A and B are shown apart, each in its own frame.
Chain A
Amino acid sequence: MSKKLVLENVSKHFGSLIAVNNVSLEIEPGEFLCFLGPSGCGKTTILRMITGFEQATSGNIIYDGKIINDVIPQKRDFGIVFQSYALFPNMTVNQNIAFGLKMRKVPQKLIDERVVEILTLLGLTGWERHYPSQLSGGQQQRVALGRAIAINPNVLLLDEPLSALDAKIRIRLRTVIKRLQEELGVTMIYVTHDQEEALALADRVVIMREGEFRQIGTPLEIYKEPKTSFIAEFVGTSNFLTCTKKNGKIQFGKLEFMVPDLADIEKEEIYLAVRPENIELVDVTVSGENCVPSNVVDVEVEVVNFLGAIVRIAFFLEGEEMFVDVPEKEFAKIRLKRKDTMKLYFPPDAFYVYTEMFRKLI
């Protein structure tokens, strides 16, 4: 059953506040799509418009070729998992999961079979007669999932479902969700502010900010090629350098960096971003002869942070605090300490170039 969900110039205004500003998107059937953005960016509003709990101020929401703006939520046959799980406290796990089926007047025998199926699928066998208050957070979330998929929806919408859980459980449930989606082949629309989650789960990620789509792409694309400085900062970590373009070269304080593709940039003030893991340690992670000389600098180690698989070293460059990530295995060879000098190499193609900065550098 291939049913495409399309957002066509959708906007949502709350009085004078524009929550969603003229966005368009085509969601492929069976796709795992993530809306990622900070609080207040409009991602939940979009979700609510898709589910039918909010009406779009303008634009169309199209499903399977039909405009569904005015279709009541009950008739949309979408499954929803809420941030607060919203399990019915007065019903057992069984009854919660069976609820949607009962509303559809499915015969009891079929309901029982299906509930057993779902319990097995989610690893909840044995908890049928328990009440939500007797379950752990992770279990409750699984029941919420089960309840939503029981009616076999074509689209499953999840509104920050894991934000209330502990880190470890979150990771475990992430796997459950991903596996579920692959097994059922259902279209998954997932809203979150946790970029790690988005990158781990999604086929495609939509970065949202202030009611607009800033970038749509695969996790890899978003990570490797952040279109705006905001995305560079929001997804992963980035060091930012405020530079001036002079005579075809980039000046950062007293340093001059070599950066490719500068020709078409007319502005004088430009911003460079570079990820900590892309900065190399000369003669440790990269051989000195492969380095463009202008991009090599000597800096003093400020703080060494041991993060497990990588070591993050803080340093100052032209008065700005920055970080470089070194794999632990490599770091073990050199064991830098505070006040040691290290030679850093900024590969030209590691820089992201932006003409606008999303906020002032503090």
Chain B
Amino acid sequence: MNDRSKEYALPMEYGISSTRMEIDKFIIPAVTIFIALLLFFFMLFPLSAILRLSFFKGGQFGIANFTLENFQRYFTTSYTLNALWHSLYVSIATTIIVTVVIFFFAYAMTRTTISGKTIFRNIIMMPLVAPSIIQALALIYLFGRNGLITAHFLHINWNIYGSTGIIISEVLYCFPHAFVILYTTLSAVDIRLDEAAESLGATPFKVFTKITLPSAKYGILSSAALTFNLTITDFGNPVVIGGNYNVLATEIYSQVTNLYRFDLGATISIILLVPSLMAFILNYYISRKTFSMISGAAKPVIRPSRPLKKVSYTIYCWLVSFSIIVIFATVVIGSFVKIWPYDWSLTFAHYSFPSIAGYSAIWTSLWISLIVGIGGSFLTLVAGYVMETRRPFFKQFIYLLSVMPAAIPGLVMGLGYILAFNKPYYFFYGTPWIIVINIIICNFTLGILSSISNLRNIDPAIEEASISLGGDTIKTFFNIIFPLSRVAFFQNFVYFFMRSMTTISAVIFLVSATVHLASIEIIMLDNDGWTASANAMCTCIIVIVLIMLGILQIVSKKTGKREEGLVSAI
């Protein structure tokens, strides 16, 4: 026994507190239960209210009251049934168009050597910064009954209202979402397979059909499922440009707000849930398969493309990008034009919104989005941490709960919230808080999946190191995991913030006299015929989101430098 050991000895009174460790035993279970309760109460409970209202007479639960009358009425009334066919038609058409267009766009990004790829990638993501109504607004200005192009350039009678308008708006709206999936898929699939095939004598066409396409099949299916889901649940575009062409989303809204028929609204919600759930399950199933394909391996260098290929793909990408730019340009310019399309003088007049809320709606949207951003990303980080690294009891069950929000259309959630929480003892009803909670829950899934994926990058030994040194769950989380997850946190913050500023479907039922949201004001203004002001409000939202994105770019660049070695030295 070496006497030197005494020199280095720590005085005995410094040990690991037993009470702290005792409490620590309860932390994970407590957090797990909290998250489960959150999802139960703010997702399943509203959903059950909708189920109750549609399957039971008068919403009274009980075997005697079980009825399919509502569904019967739905399927026998022609105009409500038409909504279903319309929705399916529009969604399928959109899906096909988007998948094909974006596939080649992503192909250009990953398999050709055209220049300007960064620009293209940024442009294709632009629709995310605006509410899903900007497409409709722009298209009306351009192709409406008095559209710039239809009436004034081409002098034709045709206009874009109806299914055509809906399809085109949805196509443009879905571009970014489909792109993310297809881009990742095509990047992950090894280019060398293509090259190997070529070296064996396959023609480019054969390479494409026999190698490239099949290896991307899961990505294509996944992107198609997502597009279908987004389109069939979207409310913003159809309500503006649909005209008399009703779809399930607009039908739910109209039943509830115009005709007082909550039970029918609930019924149609259930009907909307079916295709949306199916698309979601398909997507979920596919994404589990493709997870293994996506590796962090370095991308091999792409062989320079032949000139013809280069030129044609460049033109193609510009065409696609142009369509997006035109939408944004129209809306922004339209907000400054005095009387479109008669008087082209520029003015700020439309920015003094002729509505009760006006700028206060923008302010409300802003601070709600900030809270949603911080709260949502923090919550999903904690939830991801608990789920991924601590494997609590019932992990599978909670995981299932966590991915459910993505399957439920926003409109349905919103309706569920009013049905479920419209009682005096739910103090948060009618306040901004119900909106905050609603938006967080609706977007919970992507947040938690993104957290989990980021947490997987952290060396598990780091947590064990903390534990071996006496760290408990809370200290480990705040001192180590949280700082290391900064990137994930920012990404999630941006995501939640953007969704909160631009969401329409989820919150259309939740705005009240005391809480006005900018995205809904757009619809209100358009309803009243103040289309130019609607464009102005839209522009304001876009500007705010872009500013926030800019701020976050700067912040993340500054803090990113220090911690290069996120994964351990090995």
Asked whether any CB of A lies within 8 Å of a CB of B in the complex, the reply is yes
Q: Which of chain B's residues have a CB closer than 8 A to the CB of A149?
A: 8
A90's contact among B3, B471, B483, by CB below 8 Å, is which? B483
* Chain B residue with the shortest CB-CB distance to A149: B8
Q: Which of chain A's residues have a CB closer than 8 A to the CB of B459?
A: 84, 86
In the complex, A75→B472 CA distance in Å? 11
Chain A residues 128 to 142 lying within 8 A of chain B, measured CB to CB, are 131-133, 137, 140
The reply to whether A104 and B16 form a contact with Cβ atoms under 8 Å apart is yes
A84's contact among B14, B468, B484, B568, by CB below 8 Å, is which? B568
Query: Assuming A72-B21, A86-B462, A140-B569, is B5 touching A151 (CB within 8 A)?
Result: no
In the complex, A101→B569 CA distance in Å? 24
The reply to whether B461 and A84 form a contact with Cβ atoms under 8 Å apart is yes
In the complex, A99→B462 CA distance in Å? 12
A185's contact among B5, B10, B17, B462, by CB below 8 Å, is which? B5
For the complex formed, measure the closest distance between the CB of B261 and the CB atoms of chain A, giving whole angstroms. 56
Contact with A along B473-486 (1 / 0, CB 8 A): 00100011001100
- A239 in the interface, Cβ–Cβ < 8 Å? no
Chain A residues 166 to 204 lying within 8 A of chain B, measured CB to CB, are 182-186
Query: Assuming A90-B483, A105-B17, A133-B565, is B2 touching A147 (CB within 8 A)?
Result: no
- A57 in the interface, Cβ–Cβ < 8 Å? no
The reply to whether A182 and B569 form a contact with Cβ atoms under 8 Å apart is no
For the complex formed, measure the closest distance between the CB of A152 and the CB atoms of chain B, giving whole angstroms. 5
In the complex, A131→B565 CA distance in Å? 9
In the complex, A184→B10 CA distance in Å? 13
The reply to whether A185 and B4 form a contact with Cβ atoms under 8 Å apart is yes
Chain A residues 58 to 103 lying within 8 A of chain B, measured CB to CB, are 72-75, 77-80, 82-91, 99-101, 103
For the complex formed, measure the closest distance between the CB of B138 and the CB atoms of chain A, giving whole angstroms. 45
B15, B18, B472, B569: most-surrounded residue (chain A CB, <10 A): B569
For the complex formed, measure the closest distance between the CB of A316 and the CB atoms of chain B, giving whole angstroms. 42
The reply to whether B468 and A103 form a contact with Cβ atoms under 8 Å apart is no
Count class of interface residues, chain B: 35 or more
The reply to whether A78 and B469 form a contact with Cβ atoms under 8 Å apart is no
In the complex, A103→B464 CA distance in Å? 14
A132's contact among B3, B17, B469, B569, by CB below 8 Å, is which? B569
B10's contact among A82, A86, A88, A152, by CB below 8 Å, is which? A152
The reply to whether A106 and B14 form a contact with Cβ atoms under 8 Å apart is yes
The reply to whether B14 and A104 form a contact with Cβ atoms under 8 Å apart is yes
For the complex formed, measure the closest distance between the CB of B469 and the CB atoms of chain A, giving whole angstroms. 4
- A37 in the interface, Cβ–Cβ < 8 Å? no
In the complex, A30→B4 CA distance in Å? 12
- B562 in the interface, Cβ–Cβ < 8 Å? yes
Chain B residues 1 to 37 lying within 8 A of chain A, measured CB to CB, are 1-5, 8-10, 14-18, 21
- B343 in the interface, Cβ–Cβ < 8 Å? no
Q: Which of chain B's residues have a CB closer than 8 A to the CB of A88?
A: 462, 465-466, 479-480
In the complex, A139→B427 CA distance in Å? 57
* Chain B residue with the shortest CB-CB distance to A53: B464
The reply to whether A74 and B471 form a contact with Cβ atoms under 8 Å apart is yes
B464's contact among A75, A80, A106, A182, by CB below 8 Å, is which? A80
Q: Which of chain A's residues have a CB closer than 8 A to the CB of B566?
A: 89
Q: Which of chain A's residues have a CB closer than 8 A to the CB of B4?
A: 183-185
A75's contact among B10, B14, B16, B563, by CB below 8 Å, is which? B16
For the complex formed, measure the closest distance between the CB of A260 and the CB atoms of chain B, giving whole angstroms. 42
* Chain B residue with the shortest CB-CB distance to A72: B21
For the complex formed, measure the closest distance between the CB of A69 and the CB atoms of chain B, giving whole angstroms. 16
The reply to whether A182 and B15 form a contact with Cβ atoms under 8 Å apart is no
- A38 in the interface, Cβ–Cβ < 8 Å? no
- A247 in the interface, Cβ–Cβ < 8 Å? no
The reply to whether A104 and B465 form a contact with Cβ atoms under 8 Å apart is no
- A263 in the interface, Cβ–Cβ < 8 Å? no
Chain B residues 385 to 418 lying within 8 A of chain A, measured CB to CB, are none
For the complex formed, measure the closest distance between the CB of A203 and the CB atoms of chain B, giving whole angstroms. 13
The reply to whether B21 and A74 form a contact with Cβ atoms under 8 Å apart is yes
In the complex, A218→B541 CA distance in Å? 75
In the complex, A182→B569 CA distance in Å? 28
For the complex formed, measure the closest distance between the CB of A315 and the CB atoms of chain B, giving whole angstroms. 41
* Chain B residue with the shortest CB-CB distance to A2: B1
The reply to whether B466 and A99 form a contact with Cβ atoms under 8 Å apart is yes
For the complex formed, measure the closest distance between the CB of B391 and the CB atoms of chain A, giving whole angstroms. 14
Chain B residues 434 to 493 lying within 8 A of chain A, measured CB to CB, are 459, 461-462, 464-472, 475, 479-480, 483-484
Q: Which of chain A's residues have a CB closer than 8 A to the CB of B16?
A: 74-75, 77, 103-104
- A307 in the interface, Cβ–Cβ < 8 Å? no
Query: Assuming A86-B461, A104-B15, is B480 touching A73 (CB within 8 A)?
Result: no
Query: Assuming A86-B462, A86-B464, is B475 touching A182 (CB within 8 A)?
Result: no
Write the residues of chain A forming the contact surface with B, with a CB cutoff of 8 angstroms: 1-2, 29-30, 51, 53, 72-75, 77-80, 82-91, 99-101, 103-106, 114, 117, 131-133, 137, 140, 147-149, 151-152, 164, 182-186
Give 9 nearest A-B pairs by CB, closest first.
A185-B2, A133-B565, A103-B470, A100-B469, A86-B461, A84-B568, A86-B465, A90-B483, A185-B5
Write the residues of chain B forming the contact surface with A, with a CB cutoff of 8 angstroms: 1-5, 8-10, 14-18, 21, 459, 461-462, 464-472, 475, 479-480, 483-484, 562-566, 568-570
Report 19 cross-chain contacts, Cβ distance below 8 Å, ordered by A residue. A73-B467, A73-B468, A74-B467, A75-B18, A84-B568, A87-B465, A99-B469, A101-B14, A103-B16, A104-B10, A104-B14, A104-B16, A105-B17, A117-B8, A133-B564, A147-B465, A152-B8, A152-B9, A183-B4
